[in-house]
């Protein structure tokens, strides 16, 4: 008599219950992926070959596979919590040890690194000082908390000042001439714009528009911080009220045709104010492209000046593409880094090392790093976590089934024992 089959059945049911119990225990573990036991039958090797008379000797657990299906996504109050919606793993590092995880519960440590509860640092593509993301070898992400430098109006990145406005064609020519910015009767309309020098000091430019006796022509003057009046040039409109050219104050004057409408005069910031100005004070053009001269109120429809003061980091946000965006007190934003996701040809080949972490192996295949949303990688959702994908109802049903399995195998051993007892009792 053989008890092997019953014993292997008991052992298999016990291991399967271990798998189910582990799933149940981790049903609330963020990022956990449920497991299932795979079993195979066992036959003794035979020197005489195989035949229909072979009887198996039981079962054995061949492997435990994790199910990398998507878990539900739940929002949280932590802006650094990140959930993956789709494929891929976060890449993390500690003491030069690389690991991978689906658990996106992150926070910032005292050095500015984004870390998980085991102090593994989140990895990604780092941004250049100007905020450009250049894909390269992923590195540990450290949030730069330094202030964003001011940008003067007219800088290469800021561009020239722009203003789109309507100048009331029904207005009369001013009754006072020549222009005097202190006398409202000498100009038709005025509006202001804030600009910045290289130290981030803000200055107020007031533009004055004077309707002339020449049809469609408006002269433009400006003052900085209430002083230093400058005659900038003229804006010329056709009979349809469309801006067709501008003329600067050069000698002889330059006339620019439509499609090339920045006023050609440049204007250097200069002021008698006590506030010190930065070196390399900016010069810029004012671009009135799109402006009109229709009958109706004179008004500014849009404007920009391209500069800003310095600002301190007031918060960060993470986009669906993994870009970590710094939000600054001056209203500006800058890319700080981009979270990467790693995919594997065979995720079940990864080695479980606990704490929701995996390590790569030859069985898993070569890990491929990339931006979220690229290829088979999922997208990210900030202030959210991915719940365990354990189906608790199904696991409880499996538990009942395995319990019956265990009882049946125990009954098999009991029956074998009864037969053995009958043989022993033969006289």
| Run means of pLDDT, 10 residues per run, the chain, 427 residues | 78 90 94 90 67 74 89 94 96 95 95 95 93 92 91 70 90 92 94 84 88 93 79 88 78 45 47 44 70 94 88 94 95 94 95 94 94 94 95 92 88 83 80
Question: What integer pLDDT is reported at residue 31 of this predicted model?
Answer: 93
Q: In degrees to the nearest 10, what's the CA dihedral of 326, 327, 332, 334?
A: 10
d(CA 331, CA 150): 12
- Indicate the pairing of strand 107-108 with strand 368-370: unpaired
Stated pTM of the model:
0.77
d(CA 396, CA 229): 83
Question: What integer pLDDT is reported at residue 215 of this predicted model?
Answer: 93
Question: What integer pLDDT is reported at residue 264 of this predicted model?
Answer: 46
Bridge partner list, 114: 108
Both structure tokens of 369: 């790093």
Question: What integer pLDDT is reported at residue 277 of this predicted model?
Answer: 47
Both structure tokens of 251: 């000698």
DSSP strands (E only) in 273-356: 286-287, 299-304, 313-318, 323-328, 333-339, 341-343, 351-354
Question: What integer pLDDT is reported at residue 276 of this predicted model?
Answer: 45
What's the half-sphere exposure (Cβ side, CA atoms, 13 Å) at 411? 6
DSSP 358-406: EE--TTT---EEE-TTSTTB-EEEESEEEPP---HHHHHHHHHHHHHHH
Q: Is 294 left (phi over 0), alpha (psi -120 to 50) or beta?
A: beta
Largest CA distance in the chain: 140
Question: What integer pLDDT is reported at residue 314 of this predicted model?
Answer: 93
d(CA 113, CA 7): 52
Both structure tokens of 212: 């002339």
Question: What integer pLDDT is reported at residue 268 of this predicted model?
Answer: 47
CATH assignment, 161-304:
2.60.98.20
CB 86 within 8 A of CB 379: yes
Query: Could you tell me the residue ranges of all domains in the chain?
Result: 4-69+389-424, 76-148+313-386, 161-304
What is the b/e burial string over 243-255, where b = at least 16 CB atoms within 10 angstroms of the residue's CB? bebbbbbeeeeee
> CA angle, corner 306, sides to 302 and 307, nearest 5?
125
Chain centre distance of CA 394? 36
Question: What integer pLDDT is reported at residue 190 of this predicted model?
Answer: 95
Cβ atoms within 10 Å, residue 393: 8
d(CA 335, CA 323): 7
Question: What integer pLDDT is reported at residue 85 of this predicted model?
Answer: 96
Question: What secondary structure letter does DSSP report for 104?
Answer: -
DSSP strands (E only) in 252-298: 255-256, 286-287
DSSP strands (E only) in 127-257: 139-140, 161-166, 189-196, 202-211, 217-224, 227-237, 243-248, 255-256
d(CA 235, CA 293): 10
What is the b/e burial string over 268-280, where b = at least 16 CB atoms within 10 angstroms of the residue's CB? ebebeeeeebeee
Question: What integer pLDDT is reported at residue 53 of this predicted model?
Answer: 66
């Amino acid at each position: 008599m053989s008890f092997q089959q019953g014993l292997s059945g008991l052992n298999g049911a016990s291991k399967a219950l271990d798998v189910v119990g582990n799933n149940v225990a981790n049903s609330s573990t963020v990022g956990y992926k449920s497991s299932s036991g795979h079993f195979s039958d066992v036959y003794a090797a035979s020197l005489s070959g195989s035949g229909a008379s072979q009887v198996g000797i039981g079962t054995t657990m061949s492997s435990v596979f994790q199910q990398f299906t998507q878990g539900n996504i739940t929002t949280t109050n932590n802006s650094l919590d990140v959930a993956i919606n789709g494929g891929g793993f976060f890449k993390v590092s500690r003491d030069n040890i690389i690991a991978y995880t689906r658990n996106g519960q992150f926070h910032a440590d005292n050095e500015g690194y984004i870390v998980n509860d085991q102090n593994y640092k989140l990895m990604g593509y780092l941004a250049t000082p100007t905020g450009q993301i250049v894909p390269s070898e992923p590195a540990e992400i450290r949030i730069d908390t330094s202030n964003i430098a001011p940008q003067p109006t007219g800088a290469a990145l800021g561009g020239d000042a722009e203003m789109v406005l309507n100048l009331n064609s029904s207005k009369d020519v001013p009754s006072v001439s020549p222009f005097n910015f202190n006398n409202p009767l000498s100009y038709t309309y005025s509006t202001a714009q804030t600009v910045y020098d290289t130290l981030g000091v803000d200055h107020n430019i007031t533009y004055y528009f004077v309707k002339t006796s020449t049809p469609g022509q408006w002269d433009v003057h400006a003052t900085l911080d209430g002083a230093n009046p400058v005659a900038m040039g003229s804006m010329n409109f056709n009979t349809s009220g469309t801006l067709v050219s501008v003329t600067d104050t050069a000698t002889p004057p330059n006339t620019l045709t439509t499609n090339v409408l920045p006023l050609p005069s440049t204007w250097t910031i200069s002021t008698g104010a006590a506030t010190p100005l930065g070196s390399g004070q900016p010069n810029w053009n004012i671009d009135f492209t799109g402006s009109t001269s229709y009958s109706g109120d004179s008004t500014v429809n849009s404007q920009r000046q391209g500069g800003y003061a310095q600002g301190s980091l007031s918060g960060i946000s993470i986009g669906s593409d993994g870009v970590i965006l710094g939000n600054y007190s001056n209203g500006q934003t800058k890319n700080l880094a981009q979270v990467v996701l790693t995919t594997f040809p065979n995720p079940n080949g990864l080695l479980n090392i606990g704490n929701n972490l995996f390590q790569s192996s030859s069985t898993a295949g070569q890990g491929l790093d990339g931006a979220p949303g690229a290829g088979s990688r999922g997208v990210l959702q900030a202030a959210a976590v991915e719940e365990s994908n354990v189906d608790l109802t199904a696991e409880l049903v499996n538990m009942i089934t395995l319990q019956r399995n265990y009882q049946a195998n125990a009954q098999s051993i009991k029956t074998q024992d009864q037969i053995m007892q009958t043989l022993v009792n033969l006289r």
